[in-house]
Structure 1
């Protein structure tokens, strides 16, 4: 029986090649996208699943109240880990991680060569126990027991020393620390949140001896005892904070985040050291889009199958007359659908293999094609095949199998009228989904363009940030500044702790001693050149002094307008006033507000100061517009002249700012692809539907042509019904699209207003696409010889 059904199904698919081709192509595209998204979702959900104790590992989060609401940090104070491990019995291990130079790139000299290391961490030895890091060389329990020791990942050891045994070798970090290599560990897998290429013992740093409760720059992980009560541990952490920090000085609260949530539920947290940060909303949105395209493809199948019901009706009637049961017919139509879907899956897998490299490039992922060969994928593919077959074949199988032999064999009978409304509803659904996608893409691009053209309050163009972490001593940094000032293409230079787009030190600005709450302010240690380098607008006063004498404890500060508004001064009144930012400072200048963070958040208080007790890790250089490759060569040559034993690490300020919106850029790029595919699949169905409707009305068209109807008139007649359906789709799509995109825009402090032109463009685009698709078949039908149309019954 099944073999017979398969033969009939194959003959039907082969006989109706246009119908089969349209359905196979549509389903193949939908399934290819589903396959790629399955791999992506599997990869995202697999993060940190490799750790045997993952259920007991938690990251410490810090929560603060800022003027624009609560902010969560993925880093904590250096005093927390050792105190928690000593005071809270449920915590088996607690370990800190500090990215080199508070997030900067390390300059590593090994084997007489210079290397830039972006994943260099100072860690507690307990971190090796928390994550049970597997070692290739060295004893895990003792490799980081002594100060000035370091362990390397397998690939890093290969990069630094080649085939040479690295154990016992010395690497020099930032021209400051000489560290002995005591172990080599396996590279962390691609789906690990923790991804350290180099781990040096935290006991080398002065932070180890004098841990503070105020600085929150240390990512901290805890391994809890099995069956530990999480709320109870969090409560004990707050009691520990109360014990060590007076209530009036507590500016944050603590909580624990399970490791299983770290990757997908941390996209809005500040200061995370993770190289790969996922986003659960991105996973959900892409999953929704993939399902949507697959659903549109299934709708095509249902529409085209029921549209052909007139041809299949007599076949069903004859089969029923000869004794076929409804159950027998349902199984036959499902087998036909299953065969078509199976062919589509085969093509879909091939399309997915071709699409994975493009997806990886757009999304910044590293999905492996070998995942398609796993048993898990095979089972998932079988589930997708069954679900797609059930969805696609459900309505056609039930609809076609219920035809009555007595009714369908009457010569005057015209089948299909009772399912016309359902077909129209499905077409409306397809185009409503397509219009929503078009509007979404337009709004995303308008928002990105708005952010790109937003006046930031400073000029990020033609500014290079050069890491100076490998340069030690004021005489060398002064020599570097003078070397760069001597380059003809250089306009201004300034030494800074950080720059707009990256985090710097966070403190509290207070009006006076009685101000208990204060205002959160970011502080950036720099010099006199900062205003010229960033092209800031000076509202009052002057820049920082050119020279600060050694031993001078007076700290001068430049505040932005947001800060002095909080203090209650005008720019002129603020000059010369004392201000409390941790310690007392003298205000020497006021600059206009500028966006030192992402446009997702409003402008906050900001201060430039010249406290000599804090390091300056970057040289900002403003240069004239010349060729990028030329300027890089000049700057590298100048850098190596002063610091031959340091790695030359640079970035452009405007490119750094663009990285703040990588998520939106990815959404726009992937959205265009999904939108185009959704529209293409919808048009495939519309094309096939138009062809069958033209075939159904061929005699009507012939009669109209005999009576003098023009080609244009017939084209308008056949296209009119579809245009009406698209207009109905717009009525449903516009409010839904507005609601979705308005919610999306809520994530931005600076945002566009959704303009009516967006809906006009999307509506016209949908109408144009529908008319173009349908008109091809309409013109073809209008050009048919009427004699041929009227010749046979």
Structure 2
């Protein structure tokens, strides 16, 4: 029986090649989009799942309260790990203190490379699930031992087994490779970790005064089986508060909690101390887009199948007269939809093969199809069956419901009643398309709005360098003079970090008028005297730092946000006390500069002179200098003062641009999926227009014989579809407005929705629809009218 179903279905599809092709193409594109989105989502939700203890690992985080606003930090003081082990050990299988994953230099002879790495207590390799393929991972109790990735081993020695080899680490330490671990998967939090060094070695370089108030490190834990993260979080909540000074503990109310590894990737954002999502928003949005695009393809199938119902009515009538039950007819029509679905699946897989490299580049991640996985093929088969059942449900139930007598006589429902379901589906298609177009426009406008936001300084021609050599750091003034003498560099300055990445905060400042119990927090940046001139910041009150004033060593330059935060109407000359013994004087106020997220308000920031803890140099190129010549000259001088470290530079404008990278990638992906969704809708519209033109061919022929123009015939066929698109615009506009208004609320610095965004989306949808229908209408209008009139 099933063989007969599929045989008849195949013959029917073969005899209607045009509509079969439209359906297969529509389903194929829809399934390709769904598969690509599925691969993207799988890469996201499977992040860090390489670890066999994935469900029990967490990062210890903390909430701090500043004037009623809770800030969430991923960092911890270095004392926290020992306390967790000693006082709360019953809750944990392991507690490990580590540094953050940062760039370090590794050298073997003349081979010098910058590599990312962390320094960890002995339990780190096991906690992070390193698969050591040579040597052993239980070595970090030795400060001179190091573990390296297999790629790093090959980079230096050409082989993976480099156990026993010696490397120079940051030029100050010789370390012996005690183990080589397998490269971590690309979709893991530590995918770019090239080595793991000993915490004992790292700790030797820390100042003795590092205390509970210095949250510079990361604490990772593995909870015991049977313990929940919520239970352990409650137990350790007051750990830090109880060990800080009473004043600090009461003022900032630090509260510790565990953030599971399973949420690091998708739930990384916090708002007022509560998880506020993160990339999970993109996952949900893309899942919805994938479903919608596939649904549009299924709607095409439903529309084209039911539109041609009159042609199949006699077939249904004869079958029912010959004794076919409705269930058998439903099976017949489902067979057709399943054949189309599997045909669409094959087209979809071909499109995935062709398009996936492009989308991988667009998404900036390695997206691969698991061709060798039986699960993948079972999933594809199930996907095709589900799509076939979904696409064929309405046609199968609709066509099989025809009464045999009426079907054989051709007496079917006419006019609006018969057309209304198809009209509803067309309206639904273009409603979705318009919403997607509006969404794409708003996303790109929001990104451009943030990109065009005044940054408060001139980042053109700024080159950033890490000063890794202590010798270069000590001889900075001479280094600066040599750079200025090249004729390519206008100014050079030091700072604690790039101006585009100022995340160090401090508190405990006092100033005239500060309210009793005010919980202050400032972004702070240590700089050299020429920093302002190098960055081109704008002084609005007072003056810049100057070497002519010895007192500037105890001076502050603050931004406008800090002035407002402190409530100072006349800030210049105000004395600011920091701690018990140090008093600073405000010498200048600068315009707010975007030094963190471009989507949030500028934070209150203080700049002050400190050469000892500033290991980042910013060089300002002269406007007339060429980039290649400048870099060559700078590298020559850099190598003169630091012959051992890699000349590693970055342009600050590119660093600022990277802040928009994620949003731009998501926007481009959404834009391409929107284009494909519109393409699918247009395929269906094209097929519907072709059917209408075919059905009305005799009418069109008679009209032409009686003198109708091509324009009037095109207008005749297009007018009905245009009305449906207009209805879709009316429905889509409030839906799109509500969705995008909610999305924009996640951004403090955001655009306002404007009428032109909806008008542009409506114009694009209308134009595309008219072009699609118009082409088919024109084809019918220019056909020979005698052929149409003679048709049986």
State how far apart, in whole Å, the 2-side matches of 1:781 and 1:472 are.
Answer: 82
User: Which residue matches 1:575?
Assistant: 573
CA contact (8 A) 1:439 1:758 kept: yes
State how far apart, in whole Å, the 2-side matches of 1:161 and 1:479 are.
Answer: 37
CA contact (8 A) 1:98 1:121 kept: yes
State how far apart, in whole Å, the 2-side matches of 1:264 and 1:529 are.
Answer: 41
CA contact (8 A) 2:682 2:772 kept: yes
User: Which residue matches 2:123?
Assistant: 126
CA RMSD of aligned residues (A): 2.5
User: Which residue matches 2:298?
Assistant: 298
State how far apart, in whole Å, the 1-side matches of 2:409 and 2:493 are.
Answer: 91
- State yes or no: 1:136 paired with 2:133: yes
- State yes or no: 1:198 paired with 2:200: no
User: Which residue matches 1:282?
Assistant: 282
Q: Could you list the runs of 5+ residues in structure 2 that have no partner in the other structure?
A: none
State how far apart, in whole Å, the 2-side matches of 1:476 and 1:719 are.
Answer: 77
Summarize the alignment of residues 71-150 of structure 1 with structure 2, pairs less than 5 Å apart: 71-88=71-88, 89-99=90-100, 103=102, 105-117=103-115, 119-141=116-138, 143-150=139-146
State how far apart, in whole Å, the 2-side matches of 1:46 and 1:411 are.
Answer: 56
User: Which residue matches 1:692?
Assistant: 691
Distance 1:259 1:762, change over 3 A: same
State how far apart, in whole Å, the 2-side matches of 1:609 and 1:310 are.
Answer: 82
State how far apart, in whole Å, the 2-side matches of 1:257 and 1:106 are.
Answer: 27
TM-superposed CA distance for 1:636, in Å, is: 2.0
**What is the TM-score normalised by the length of structure 2?**
0.93
Q: SS of the counterpart of 1:408? A: helix
User: Which residue matches 2:215?
Assistant: 216
TM-superposed CA distance for 1:413, in Å, is: 5.0
Distance 1:470 1:489, change over 3 A: same
State how far apart, in whole Å, the 1-side matches of 2:313 and 2:66 are.
Answer: 69
Deviating more after overlay: 42-51 vs 330-339: 42-51
TM-superposed CA distance for 1:356, in Å, is: 1.3
Distance 1:788 1:229, change over 3 A: closer
User: Which residue matches 1:274?
Assistant: none
User: Which residue matches 2:178?
Assistant: 182
- State yes or no: 1:394 paired with 2:397: no
Q: SS of the counterpart of 1:758? A: helix
User: Which residue matches 1:357?
Assistant: 357
User: Which residue matches 2:449?
Assistant: 450
Deviating more after overlay: 621-630 vs 653-662: 621-630
Deviations along 1:267-302, one digit per CA (max 9) or x if unpaired, are 5699xxxxxx98111111111111111110100000
Q: SS of the counterpart of 1:519? A: coil
Distance 1:208 1:545, change over 3 A: closer
Distance 1:627 1:391, change over 3 A: farther
Summarize the alignment of residues 334-373 of structure 1 with structure 2, pairs less than 5 Å apart: 334-369=334-369, 371-373=370-372
Deviating more after overlay: 644-653 vs 624-633: 624-633
TM-superposed CA distance for 1:539, in Å, is: 2.0
CA contact (8 A) 1:363 1:666 kept: yes
User: Which residue matches 2:45?
Assistant: 45
State how far apart, in whole Å, the 1-side matches of 2:158 and 2:519 are.
Answer: 53
Distance 1:210 1:52, change over 3 A: farther
State how far apart, in whole Å, the 2-side matches of 1:233 and 1:201 are.
Answer: 27
User: Which residue matches 1:259?
Assistant: 261
User: Which residue matches 1:535?
Assistant: 536
TM-superposed CA distance for 1:164, in Å, is: 8.6
TM-superposed CA distance for 1:225, in Å, is: 1.2
State how far apart, in whole Å, the 1-side matches of 2:621 and 2:742 are.
Answer: 39
State how far apart, in whole Å, the 1-side matches of 2:267 and 2:624 are.
Answer: 41
CA contact (8 A) 1:108 1:647 kept: no
Deviating more after overlay: 407-416 vs 4-13: 407-416
State how far apart, in whole Å, the 2-side matches of 1:766 and 1:442 are.
Answer: 13
User: Which residue matches 2:57?
Assistant: 57
Q: SS of the counterpart of 1:339? A: helix
TM-superposed CA distance for 1:434, in Å, is: 0.8
Q: SS of the counterpart of 1:409? A: helix
Deviating more after overlay: 413-422 vs 2-11: 413-422
CA contact (8 A) 2:482 2:637 kept: yes
CA contact (8 A) 1:267 1:278 kept: yes
CA contact (8 A) 1:524 1:608 kept: yes
User: Which residue matches 2:6?
Assistant: 6
Summarize the alignment of residues 665-684 of structure 1 with structure 2, pairs less than 5 Å apart: 665-684=664-683
Q: SS of the counterpart of 1:95? A: strand
TM-superposed CA distance for 1:660, in Å, is: 1.1
State how far apart, in whole Å, the 2-side matches of 1:380 and 1:439 are.
Answer: 33
Deviating more after overlay: 731-740 vs 403-412: 403-412
Q: SS of the counterpart of 1:286? A: helix
TM-superposed CA distance for 1:612, in Å, is: 4.6
- State yes or no: 1:158 paired with 2:154: yes
Deviations along 1:497-551, one digit per CA (max 9) or x if unpaired, are 11233134211263448743333211111111111111111123333343898xx
CA contact (8 A) 1:73 1:269 kept: no
CA contact (8 A) 2:494 2:615 kept: yes
State how far apart, in whole Å, the 2-side matches of 1:689 and 1:489 are.
Answer: 66
- State yes or no: 1:503 paired with 2:505: no
CA contact (8 A) 2:571 2:586 kept: no
TM-superposed CA distance for 1:397, in Å, is: 0.4
Q: SS of the counterpart of 2:521? A: strand
State how far apart, in whole Å, the 1-side matches of 2:207 and 2:567 are.
Answer: 40
**What is the TM-score normalised by the length of structure 1?**
0.93
CA contact (8 A) 2:137 2:178 kept: no
State how far apart, in whole Å, the 1-side matches of 2:212 and 2:86 are.
Answer: 16
Q: SS of the counterpart of 1:373? A: coil
CA contact (8 A) 1:92 1:222 kept: yes
State how far apart, in whole Å, the 1-side matches of 2:15 and 2:128 are.
Answer: 61
Distance 1:269 1:618, change over 3 A: farther
CA contact (8 A) 1:9 1:335 kept: yes
Summarize the alignment of residues 252-651 of structure 1 with structure 2, pairs less than 5 Å apart: 252-267=254-269, 279-369=279-369, 371-410=370-409, 413=412, 418-472=417-471, 474-508=473-507, 510-512=509-511, 515-546=516-547, 555-570=554-569, 572-575=570-573, 577-580=575-578, 584-612=583-611, 614-624=613-623, 626-651=625-650
TM-superposed CA distance for 1:69, in Å, is: 4.2
Deviations along 1:228-250, one digit per CA (max 9) or x if unpaired, are 24333222212322331135313
TM-superposed CA distance for 1:9, in Å, is: 1.0
State how far apart, in whole Å, the 1-side matches of 2:36 and 2:143 are.
Answer: 47
Deviating more after overlay: 38-47 vs 650-659: 38-47
Deviations along 1:630-678, one digit per CA (max 9) or x if unpaired, are 3333322222222111111111111111111112101221122111111
Q: SS of the counterpart of 2:639? A: helix
State how far apart, in whole Å, the 2-side matches of 1:530 and 1:393 are.
Answer: 68
TM-superposed CA distance for 1:368, in Å, is: 2.2
Deviating more after overlay: 158-167 vs 395-404: 158-167
Distance 1:607 1:492, change over 3 A: same
State how far apart, in whole Å, the 1-side matches of 2:122 and 2:548 are.
Answer: 42
CA contact (8 A) 2:239 2:256 kept: no
User: Which residue matches 1:273?
Assistant: none
CA contact (8 A) 1:471 1:477 kept: no
State how far apart, in whole Å, the 2-side matches of 1:164 and 1:220 are.
Answer: 30
Count residues in correspondence. Answer: 778
Distance 1:112 1:317, change over 3 A: same
State how far apart, in whole Å, the 2-side matches of 1:62 and 1:505 are.
Answer: 16
CA contact (8 A) 1:491 1:621 kept: yes
Distance 1:639 1:208, change over 3 A: closer
State how far apart, in whole Å, the 2-side matches of 1:757 and 1:590 are.
Answer: 40
Deviations along 1:175-225, one digit per CA (max 9) or x if unpaired, are 333333332222222232233211111112244976522222212211111
State how far apart, in whole Å, the 2-side matches of 1:605 and 1:218 are.
Answer: 24
